[in-house]
């Protein structure tokens, strides 16, 4: 069966390989330049974070958007290879040829789907590896490993996305028996699932950590943490995350008087007076965040979710292929 | 002689539409069986049920000793050729030969090459660019290369011109002769004359029901055409089964299935041709879908 899959997809595979090579060439050329710029920034600033913040961004030009292009690679694979896998065989009636050779439909699907899922994982992994390497200096400078557009294009999650999109295409093509609706399902289903999981599920993979600290001191979660909220909390539980306007009504009258009369124009000494006053009245500083060391566990959890979804879709496809009339 | 195909009360429904109802037929091993019926009679449905490409809604079906199933040994014994001549249009015949070699335990690649070379069909040209007749020949050769024990062909000659049709049937006849009784063929078509030439067994389907099935010779021997004066056909109907009656003001022509010797001297009994028989049963099937099915003795 492996030879049959190879014969069916060798042209598509060659095209995919060529596109991947072109992408790699562009990313590597641009990545080398970015790394050089980052080097000179490091030399210039010599460890001063204020200096780092004033540097222009490392990326420029169209190439800077390439990692975001990589976000749609899994969906494209699912639409072009996954959706037609079963649907096109049924549309062209070649299923009547393939499924009356001396190979059971289960074995046929195992080979076809198996190789395509593997190809999706390899493509997703290759693109992710390139993007991860390219983003190294940018990650170091901007410090947002968990930021959307960084978390989803680097590490191992793109492999999970690619496997999921491929499985979704195969399953949708099997259910609808037509390629076009299956392609629409991949596009809608993939984008929908990504939005739901990254917005509603990802922040809760592990319970967030809350650190309380003296208002008179400052606190920054170490490393590239994912900060959900930071501010002050009173002894009665009132929280103020940001903005003087919110702070004023929550404060005790004694502290209210210390606030700068016009928002945003306070001097730092008057601010520290406010903080001291708040501290004296039972306020504490707090920060709720996912610590930086959870980056890889989060990558693993998210990849696992998508791989499990893909496994469920593939299992459903096997049941349908076996039971339903060809 | 064992049965290659045995169905009992087999039925298939697609949602609410009944495609096949109460189908009970037996095809002994080694026969070439014609599956005849008008469009929509259930021919394709029956063939797909036999090949295991569709699941029955009711009744039972045994093919080569067991129900059609997803099992490499069973699949290896079945050669199925669908009406649409399903081939990968962008692959060449040579590609298909290699695909077959990778998907079948006993694959006779030289058989396909020899047959296609004889027919001057290029092996290295995309199948989609071949003519309809050439494509059908490629598909038949590929199906035969599996060395199946049961060949199921769905309207294989429908799209072919007379010459291509003759070549196709010649290939089929040669394959049956080569197999020396170990190959059973079921061939659906509505071209009765073609079928009579190659088949020795027949199943007549109309209105999703079996009208008649059995050996063609037995069928012909068991039916007569009676031509006589127009009169009360009651005595005839009591002794025989009238399949079709055509009356003019002066005479009646009755196609009957014999229930015994014809003793009324007023009627002249003539032999029936296969085509007359088929048309009579097709007409009867159209007229009353509720006609009970009839099975002629298997003669074996």
**Per-position DSSP letters for A2-70, written without gaps between them:** HHHHHHHHHHHHHHHHHHHHHHHHHHHHHHHHHHHHHHHHHHHHTT-HHHHHHSPPS--SGGGGHHHHG
How many angstroms away from the CA of B109 is the closest CA of chain A? 14
Same structural domain, A115 and A257: no
Contact B70/A106, CB-based, under 8 Å?
yes
The pair phi, psi for residue A211, each rounded to 5°, is -110, 130
Q: What is d(CA A189, CA A169) in angstroms, rounded to the nearest whole number?
A: 9
Same structural domain, A111 and A234: no
Q: Residue range A68-83: average pLDDT?
A: 90
Q: Give pLDDT, residue B248.
A: 84
Do B152 and B64 form a contact (C-beta atoms < 8 A)?
no
For B47, the token pair is 């063939």
Residue B111: Cβ within 10 Å count: 18
Same structural domain, A52 and A85: yes
Supply the range of the domain harboring residue A94.
2-205+296-323
Q: Give pLDDT, residue B63.
A: 95
Q: What is d(CA A302, CA A299) in angstroms, rounded to the nearest whole number?
A: 5
Contact A4/B88, CB-based, under 8 Å?
no
Lowest mean pLDDT among A48-57, A93-102, B11-20: A48-57
Q: Which of B82, B38, B119 is nearest to B283 (CA)?
A: B38
What lies within 8 Å, CB to CB, of B259 at 6+ separation is: B239, B240, B241
Start-end of H helices in chain B = 43-51, 72-77, 93-103, 109-118, 132-145, 162-179, 192-198, 216-222, 234-239, 274-287
Q: How many residues does chain A have?
A: 326
Answer whether B88 touches A (CB < 8 Å): yes
Same structural domain, A195 and A89: yes
For B37, the token pair is 């019926």
- Predicted confidence band at A261 (pLDDT cuts at 50, 70, 90)? low
Does pLDDT of A117 surpass 80?
yes
Do A225 and A291 form a contact (C-beta atoms < 8 A)?
yes
For chain B, 300 residues long, give each residue's pLDDT as a single digit of tens.
Answer: 588 999 999 999 988 888 999 999 999 999 999 999 888 889 999 999 999 999 999 999 999 989 999 999 999 999 999 988 899 999 999 999 999 999 999 899 998 999 899 889 999 999 999 988 899 989 999 999 999 999 999 988 887 788 888 888 888 888 898 888 889 999 998 778 778 888 999 999 988 889 899 999 999 999 999 888 887 778 888 888 888 888 888 888 889 888 888 777 888 888 999 988 998 888 776 554 443 444 444 333
Same structural domain, A79 and A166: yes
Same structural domain, A239 and A279: yes
Same structural domain, A254 and A177: no
Q: Which of B173, B271, B268 is nearest to B219 (CA)?
A: B271
Residue A81: Cβ within 10 Å count: 23
More confident residue, A15 or B2: A15
Same structural domain, A220 and A234: yes
For A29, the token pair is 């050329």
Give the angle subtended at the CA of A51 by the CAs of A48 and A57, to the nearest 5°: 125
State how beta strands B32-36 and B184-189 pair: parallel
Lowest mean pLDDT among A50-59, A94-103, B85-94, B178-187: A50-59
Contact B100/A101, CB-based, under 8 Å?
yes
Q: What is d(CA A146, CA A142) in angstroms, rounded to the nearest whole number?
A: 11
Same structural domain, A80 and A66: yes
Contact A3/B98, CB-based, under 8 Å?
yes
Q: Give pLDDT, residue B298.
A: 38
Q: Give pLDDT, residue A71.
A: 85
Helices A157-176 and A179-196: angle between axes, nearest 10 degrees = 140
Domain count, chain A: 2
State how beta strands B17-23 and B3-14 pair: antiparallel
How many angstroms away from the CA of A157 is the closest CA of chain B? 36
Do A108 and B108 form a contact (C-beta atoms < 8 A)?
no
Same structural domain, A220 and A285: yes
The ipTM is 0.87
Same structural domain, A231 and A244: yes
How many angstroms away from the CA of A102 is the closest CA of chain B? 4
Same structural domain, A118 and A215: no
pTM of the model: 0.88
């Amino acid at each position: 069966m492996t030879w049959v899959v190879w014969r069916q997809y060798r042209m598509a595979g060659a095209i995919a390989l060529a596109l991947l090579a072109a992408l790699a060439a562009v990313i590597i050329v641009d990545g080398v330049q970015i790394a050089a710029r980052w080097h000179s920034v490091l030399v210039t600033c010599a460890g001063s974070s204020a200096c780092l913040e004033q540097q222009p961004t490392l990326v420029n030009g169209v190439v800077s958007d390439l990692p975001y292009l990589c976000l749609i690679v899994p969906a494209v694979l699912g639409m072009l290879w996954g959706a037609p896998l079963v649907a096109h065989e049924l549309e062209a009636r070649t299923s009547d040829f393939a499924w009356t050779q001396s190979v059971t439909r289960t074995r046929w699907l195992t080979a076809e789907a198996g190789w395509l899922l593997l190809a999706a994982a390899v493509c997703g992994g290759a693109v992710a590896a390139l993007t991860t390497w390219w983003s190294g200096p940018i990650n170091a400078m901007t410090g947002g490993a968990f930021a959307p557009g960084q978390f989803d294009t680097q590490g191992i999650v793109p492999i999970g996305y690619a496997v999921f999109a491929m499985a979704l295409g195969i399953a949708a093509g099997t259910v609808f028996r037509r390629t076009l609706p299956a392609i629409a399902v991949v596009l809608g289903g993939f984008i929908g699932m990504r939005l739901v999981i990254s917005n509603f599920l990802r922040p809760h993979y592990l319970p967030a950590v809350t650190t309380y600290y003296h208002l008179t001191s400052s606190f920054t979660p170490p490393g590239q943490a994912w900060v959900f909220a930071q501010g002050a909390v009173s002894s009665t539980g009132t929280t103020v995350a940001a903005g003087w306007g919110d702070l004023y009504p929550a404060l005790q009258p004694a502290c209210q008087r210390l606030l700068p009369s016009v928002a945003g124009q306070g001097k730092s000494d008057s601010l520290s007076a406010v903080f001291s006053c708040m501290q004296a009245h039972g306020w504490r500083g707090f920060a709720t965040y996912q610590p930086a060391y959870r980056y890889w566990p989060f990558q693993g959890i998210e990849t696992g979710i998508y791989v499990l979804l893909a496994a469920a879709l593939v299992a459903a496809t096997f049941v349908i292929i076996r039971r339903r009339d060809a | 002689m064992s049965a290659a195909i045995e169905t009992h009360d087999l039925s298939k429904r697609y949602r609410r539409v009944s495609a096949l109802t109460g189908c009970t037929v037996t095809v002994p091993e080694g026969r070439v069986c014609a599956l005849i019926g008008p469009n929509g009679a259930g021919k394709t449905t029956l063939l797909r049920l036999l090949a295991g490409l569709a699941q029955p809604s009711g009744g039972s079906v045994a093919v080569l000793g067991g129900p059609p199933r997803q099992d490499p040994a069973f699949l290896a014994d079945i050669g199925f050729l669908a009406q649409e001549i399903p081939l990968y249009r962008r692959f060449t015949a040579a590609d298909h030969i290699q695909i077959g070699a990778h998907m079948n335990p006993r694959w006779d690649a030289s058989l396909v090459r020899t047959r296609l070379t004889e027919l001057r069909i290029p092996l290295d040209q995309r199948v989609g660019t071949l003519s309809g007749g050439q494509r059908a020949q490629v598909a038949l050769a590929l199906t035969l290369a599996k060395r199946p024990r049961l060949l199921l062909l769905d309207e294989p000659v429908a799209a072919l011109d007379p010459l291509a049709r003759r070549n196709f049937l010649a290939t089929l006849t040669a394959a049956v002769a080569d197999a020396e009784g170990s190959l059973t063929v079921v061939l659906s078509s509505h071209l009765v004359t073609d079928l009579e030439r190659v088949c020795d067994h027949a199943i007549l389907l109309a209105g999703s029901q079996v009208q008649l099935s059995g050996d063609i010779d037995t069928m012909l021997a068991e039916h007569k055409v009676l031509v006589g004066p127009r009169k009360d056909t009651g005595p005839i109907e009591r002794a025989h089964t009238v399949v079709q009656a055509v009356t003019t003001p002066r005479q009646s022509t009755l196609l009957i299935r014999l229930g015994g010797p014809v003793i009324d001297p007023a009627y002249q009994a003539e032999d029936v041709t296969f085509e007359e028989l088929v048309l009579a049963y097709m007409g009867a099937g159209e007229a009353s879908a509720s006609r009970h099915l009839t099975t002629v003795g298997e003669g074996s």
